[in-house]
Each structure stands twice: as C-alpha cells, then as structure tokens.
Structure 1
C-alpha cells in the first residue's frame, strides 16, 4: 500500500500541475501585421493620417470610428505599420492633410481639396470609395499594401 501511494501521489501532483496550466492558457486569435505604403503624395507639407477600419460604419471619413489610426509627417512617400492585428477583414483610408487642420478640406460643391486614398485603390466614381470596394483580408503574418493618393 505504501509503495502504491509513493507512486500515486507524485502522479496526481504532476497531473494537477498540467491541468492547471492548461486551464490558465488563453486562446488568442492569430494576429498579423499590416504594412501600408502611401505613394504619390503631392507635397511634403502637412501630415498623412491613416485609419484602419473593421466595419463600414464611419469609413472612409470618420477616423474616430476606426479601430486604429496614425498620423505622420508627410514626405515623398510614407509607411505606417499596424502590428498585432487579429486576422480578419479591414479597410484603410488615408488623408493627406496638407494644411494640418485634421480634417479633409472640400470645395463649395464637396470635392476634396486634399489628397485621399483607400486600400485596394478602387476607381473613384461619384462619392467616396465604399468599405466593400476597399476591403482587404488579413490571413497571414504580414500584409503589405500600397495606397495611391488621389487629388482633384
């Protein structure tokens, strides 16, 4: 009996340690990186704002509805990286805020005076690009995107 207890007690102890560590492990969603290069900036004046959206609400011109956003000094071209982004579907909007007022300036009939772009570089028709036309799918460790700016 003593001999059986000597073998059983360490086995129970080891099993309890293993089961505790399995319970404490979180299941984390797979994440990746979205690397955004912005090309064809008209000037190096002002800032470039980039917003990452995971839903159509607010896209493309309400950055406060984005799940992440960045602003960097404008240059000939710019690059911004979004790290630890859960795999899924997203759309990205870009604004070249040349005068630094943190909004897109438009003329009297609503046409943008400053540069803009979205992921997938959809053709610009009437109105802003849609979330559906700008969707990209992150399903790997890194997704590299190049967004071309549009100026009118």
Structure 2
C-alpha cells in the first residue's frame, strides 16, 4: 500500500508546474543621441561569457517606447551576480558598426558603469548582485565616440 501511495505522489508531483523564483530588475537607459533604431540589452553571468559575447539573456527594445529620453525595461533574474551591456543599434542590423580604426560608431553602455577608455571593460567593472526579495535597479548610460 505504501508503494502505491508513493507512486501516486511521485506522478502527481511530476505534473505540477515548476516555479522559478526570480527578482525583478528595473533597467533605466538614457542619453540616446537619436530615436532611430533599436536597443539590444544583453545579460551576462561572468567575464568569460562577456568576453566571448555569449549572453545568458538578451532583450531587444524599441526606441519608440522612450519616455522623456529614458527607455525602461524589466528583467526577472534569479539571485546571483550579473552584468548588462547594451548596443544602441541605430541601423537595426543587430551588430555594432565600427569605423576603419575599429572605433564604435553606434552607442554602447554597461550596467551602473560609464566606460572611459577605448579598451573593452572587464565584467567586474559593471557587475551587480541580484538578491531575492530585494528591489534591484540598474542605470545604463549610452555612450558614443
């Protein structure tokens, strides 16, 4: 009898939906030079995935959703350490456009960090921690050369 009860409980638990706990992360993006194109925000978990450009999550936003020059979005992320990078994809081709010297011609930005050099930042420059049941806000400033 116990075995039958265990089998029934196992089957019943296997059919229940799995809930993934996550925290809402509010993202505010500002300092756009134009309203043309789209914005691609990528979420990374560590420096290797950032350097290899293999994001954990990516979201494409319409610049037409801007209000007073600020684009707002929300990500639901499990507790952990993350970093965000964005591309102001003005020509909507989904890749960064560079000039002949290798200098970006479209905007870019990072979570809670303003990059001041031509070299690529490391993950620890712009990482942030998501804690369960604690509000999280990220500000991204779009930069241009």
Deviation at 1:59, TM superposition (A): 1.7
Deviation string 1:42-71 (CA, Å, 9 cap, x unpaired) is 111000000111122242682xx1111111
- TM-score in terms of structure 1 length: 0.75
Distance, in Å, in 1 between the alignment partners of 2:19 and 2:123 is 27
Aligned residues: 132
Deviation string 1:52-109 (CA, Å, 9 cap, x unpaired) is 11122242682xx1111111111432112112x1100000001100011110101111
Of residues 81, 84, 96 in structure 2, which corresponds to 1:104?
Answer: 96
Q: Is 1:145 aligned to 2:134, yes or no?
A: no
Q: Structure 1 43/80 Cα, relative in aligned 2: closer, same or farther at 3 Å?
A: same
Contact 1:61 1:93 in 2 (8 A): no
Which of the two has higher C-alpha Rg? Answer: 1
Distance, in Å, in 2 between the alignment partners of 1:27 and 1:45 is 40
Contact 2:78 2:132 in 1 (8 A): no
CA RMSD of aligned residues (A): 2.6
The residue correspondences of 1:30-109 to structure 2 (distance < 5 A) are 30-59=21-50, 62=53, 65-74=54-63, 75=66, 76-83=69-76, 85-109=77-101
Q: Which runs of 4+ in 1 moved over 6 A?
A: 25-29
Contact 1:119 1:135 in 2 (8 A): yes
SS in 1 for 2:117: coil
Unpaired segments ≥5 residues, structure 2: none
